[in-house]
Structure 1
Amino acid sequence: MLISGAFVTAEGWGEWKRYFEEKGYNVVVPEWPYKTGEPGTLKERYKEKMTLEYDLEKIVDYHAALIDKMPEKPILVGHSFGGLIVQLLLQRDKGAAGIAYHSVPAKGVFVFKYSFLKSLWGPLGIFRSKENPFLMSFTQWQYAFTNGMPEEEQRAYYNKLVVPESRQVLRAALKKQGKIDFRKAHAPLLFVSGSTDNIIPASLNKKNYKKYIKHQPEGSITEYKEFEGRNHLAMSQSTWKEDADFILGWIEKQTK
């Protein structure tokens, strides 16, 4: 199961889905409940009040319900906010293994790096109503997700992927709904980060990883890998196959 993150649709997993299927995997790429529709249409409607029916817990419940219908526990690969969803699903024993790819951290894991604070100040909108959705501007997208990429690629991915996001869901990661019990046994978990990721810097992923290492019980496996030159949209950079191949190799090692 490939799990998408905040601010974007699941379309970003397109190449990965095809590639994993070529390697013999059955791949499911669920869209978040309130993100169905064309990105352009959703962008036009972003000033509408966003339903408060969905919060982080219900989005995790949604993915867990899909998993419960499967014949066996899936391997979970989650990007960004999807990486936190992977951690929460493993905490519920819903996966055979998990990959947190450029992952949003668990509650209480924080760094004061400028790029992290700059990237998230607007989306969190602390002084705005949680009913008001956030639509990332192209300039914010360039800084937070696609830094270092040619502008035409940045624009193409902005048009293809970016949709309004629920501030309620984003803020939930900072609260009880985003809490991980690091002392609880879990399936093998891999953190993958990028050296040029502005919104989720490598230092933040490493800090999340170290929380597991410090507290995890005997028998649980948590590993970490950092790639040079990867921004937050690493799944769509020219180097994406190197990341995918590393993840596939790790999966094979853990599921022998």
Structure 2
Amino acid sequence: MANQPVLFIHGLWLHATSWDPWFDFFRNEGFDPVAPPWPGERDTVEETRAHPEDVADKSIDDVTGHFAKIIEGFDVPPVIIGHSFGGLIAEKLLGQGFGNAGVAIDPAQIKGVLPLPLAQLRAALPALLNPTNISKPIALTEKEFKFGFANELSDDEAHELYEKYSIPSTVRPLFQAAAANFNMHSQAAVNTKNETRGPLLLVSGTADHTVPDVTTDATLKQYRDSTAVTELIKFHGRGHSLTIDHGWRDVATEVLVWLRQQSVEPD
């Protein structure tokens, strides 16, 4: 029988290699992890930075469909773990019946989530300030990365992570999420009422600027009409970088413990 796969999905402005520590951690625990790139993303940070046009103009549905096709190639339904917009994608896939469990870490707001804190708005401004950005590849400056991802880190660690993982990204998903509650058919909509889906864990960093804690709290409330397991774990004083900074192992360990509580184990 095939072993239990884990599919990692990163968010905007990070490369798939940002999951490398998690990849090794879960493989050492007996799982079969994969961390595919987004559509158009090259194999390395350097190549992706050199060809930003390849990642431009990808929508939420484009990215969701990309990962759905990958899942369809598995012999065993995977655990789906996503960060930021990858978390939103993980929620969409789980709601559509993909995967046997999902983890959404600091997930981008889905349709129905109303809070829009000032810090979140400021973190999104590099993309949203100019409407013509919707079809362009946008890269964060180091200062913008520090505010949006690394506000709880030293300048040295923030610089290291920026250089190691930051890439240009499509920002169409940001525009779609921002307008979700004004669009009846928004691609940011998730089937939160699905009662036959696998268990879902939401993870929040309470000092996150990009997806503030209040946003994740509001996301949890969207699942109140489903009897499927939906739980929330908070990491106090952690920012949006909680999956890639020096404390990543604490988050990964809690996710692993939760999966075992849901009887999701390697074969």
Same fold (TM over 0.5): yes
> Quick one: which amino acid aligns to residue 109 of structure 1?
V
1:232 to 231, 234, 240: 240
Partner of 1:196: 207
Q: What TM-score comes out, normalization by structure 2 length? A: 0.88
Q: Which segments of 5 or more consecutive residues in structure 2 lack a partner in the other structure?
A: 1-6, 181-185
Matched, 1:151 2:159: no
Partner of 1:57: 61
Structure 1 segments, 4+ long, off by >3 Å, are: 40-46, 48-52
Matched, 1:43 2:49: yes
Partner of 2:252: 244
Please report how far the alpha carbon of residue 128 of structure 1 lies from its aligned counterpart in structure 2 after TM superposition: 2.2
Please report how far the alpha carbon of residue 129 of structure 1 lies from its aligned counterpart in structure 2 after TM superposition: 4.1
Q: What SS is found at the alignment partner of 2:169?
A: coil
Partners of 2:127 and 2:138 within 8 A in 1: yes
Matched, 1:8 2:18: no
1:136 to 120, 125, 140: 140
> Quick one: which amino acid aligns to residue 189 of structure 2?
K
Q: 1:17 to 1:50 in 2, by over 3 A?
A: closer
Partners of 1:81 and 1:104 within 8 A in 2: yes
Matches within 5 A, 1:155-166: 155-166=159-170
Q: 1:92 to 1:40 in 2, by over 3 A?
A: same
Deviates more, 1:232-241 or 1:139-148: 232-241
Partners of 1:35 and 1:163 within 8 A in 2: no
Q: Which segments of 5 or more consecutive residues in structure 1 lack a partner in the other structure?
A: none
1:74 to 55, 63, 78: 78
What is the rounded CA distance, in whole Å, between the counterparts of 1:169 and 1:202 in structure 2? Answer: 20
Deviates more, 1:141-150 or 1:120-129: 120-129
Partner of 2:221: 210
- Number of residue equivalences: 251
> Quick one: which amino acid aligns to residue 16 of structure 1?
W
Please report how far the alpha carbon of residue 255 of structure 1 lies from its aligned counterpart in structure 2 after TM superposition: 2.4
Partners of 1:39 and 1:159 within 8 A in 2: no
Q: What TM-score comes out, normalization by structure 1 length? A: 0.92
Please report how far the alpha carbon of residue 120 of structure 1 lies from its aligned counterpart in structure 2 after TM superposition: 0.8
CA RMSD across the alignment: 1.8
